Amino acid sequence: MLTELKQLAIVTKQGEADEQFEAAKNYARSIGINNNKTQAFGLFLKAALQGHVEAAHHIGLCYNNGDGIEVNAEKAFEWFLKAAEQGFAESQNCVGVCYLKGIGTAENIPTALQWFIKAADAGILLSHYNKGLCYINDQNYQLAFESFQLVANQGYPDAQDMLAECYYNGYGTPQDTQQAFQLWSHAAIWSNHKESQYKLAEFCYSQNGLLYNPQQAFNLWLQSAIQGFKPSQYKVAECYNKGIGTTLNENQANFWTTKYYS
């Protein structure tokens, strides 16, 4: 009888946690007067403290993004780790990112890779891309190329950008600048990918590129600069200062120089 009561208490507790989690999601998703991220955070926390693993992941997201609570990278990492250790794949990827970039914990790329492998094996596509970043760091170019290719084929622009890097530099594959150009073009044009726009502009401006076009290079740098990419802001300032691909414009040169250094 005592065992049955304990089991009933566990089921009831889990039911409460599920209800709190669903209520928290409703608060977080609502628009306007019903939107209350502070209330959502409180309910996520209640559910997480009762062992709701997905709620623990959401607490990590709240601390990471400043939703309903002040940004706290260390707390975000702690909650991601709690959920990751219970097998929640999205948190495993987040823990890997924290170790990869040193967010909320010390940078540890070998440990990051182990978490990315767990998440990738559980079906998180982005983790294959993150594995590639770890492999690039370790100069394991063949595995990096394979990881980026897997994700790039699914249309992920960051992976297309890094796969282009592999083709351009001959990392894990024979060097193929034309394939690199095509991948950067796809990510830059179709996904408005700021890093790819910068690299494609460099390609267009290079005398050795498939297509020497200073005007196109300037336009690509400008698109990237508008998105806040610092190297492109520097290039745009240089273009206005020297009349590369556009007319000389001292005011615009000064504007983008200020942007770059801000």
Q: Are residues 59 and 162 in the same domain?
A: yes
Q: How confident is the model at residue 18 (pLDDT cuts 50, 70, 90)?
A: confident
Q: Give the number of residues written for the chain.
A: 262
Question: Which domain-ending residue is among 159, 174, 191?
Answer: 191
Q: Are residues 197 and 176 in the same domain?
A: no
Question: Which domain-ending residue is among 174, 191, 208?
Answer: 191
Mean of all residue pLDDT scores within the chain: 90
What range defines the domain where residue 131 resides? 2-191
**Tens of pLDDT along 54-84?**
999 999 999 999 999 999 999 999 999 999 9
**Tens of pLDDT along 227-245?**
999 999 999 999 999 999 9
Residues 52, 23 contacting (CB under 8 angstroms): no
Q: How confident is the model at residue 162 (pLDDT cuts 50, 70, 90)?
A: very high
Q: Are residues 173 and 199 in the same domain?
A: no
CATH number, domain of 234, equals 1.25.40.10
Nearest 10 degrees: CA dihedral of 31, 55, 154, 65? Answer: 60
- 260 pLDDT exceeds 90? yes
The secondary structure of 13-33 as a DSSP string is HHHHHHHHHHHHHHHHH--GG
pLDDT above 90 coverage of the chain, percent: 81
Q: Are residues 222 and 140 in the same domain?
A: no
DSSP annotation of 156 reads -
Q: What are phi and psi of 67, to 5 degrees?
A: -90, 105
- 11 pLDDT exceeds 50? no
Closest listed residue to residue 120, CA positions, set 105, 136, 133: 133
Q: Are residues 16 and 143 in the same domain?
A: yes
Q: Are residues 180 and 216 in the same domain?
A: no
Q: Are residues 142 and 59 in the same domain?
A: yes
Across the range 142-165, mean pLDDT stands at: 98
Q: Are residues 150 and 83 in the same domain?
A: yes
Total tally of structural domains belonging to the chain: 2
Q: Are residues 147 and 69 in the same domain?
A: yes
182: buried, middle or exposed (CB in 10 Å: 19+, 13-18, 0-12)? middle
Query: What is the model's pLDDT at position 37?
Result: 85
Q: What are phi and psi of 40, to 5 degrees?
A: -60, -45
Question: Which domain-ending residue is among 191, 221, 253?
Answer: 191
Prediction pTM value: 0.86
Q: How confident is the model at residue 7 (pLDDT cuts 50, 70, 90)?
A: very low
Question: Apex CA 102: angle with CA 99 and CA 104, to 5°?
Answer: 95
Interatomic CA distance for residues 63 and 189, integer angstroms: 34
Q: Are residues 132 and 224 in the same domain?
A: no
- 208 or 41, greater pLDDT: 41
- 135 pLDDT exceeds 60? yes
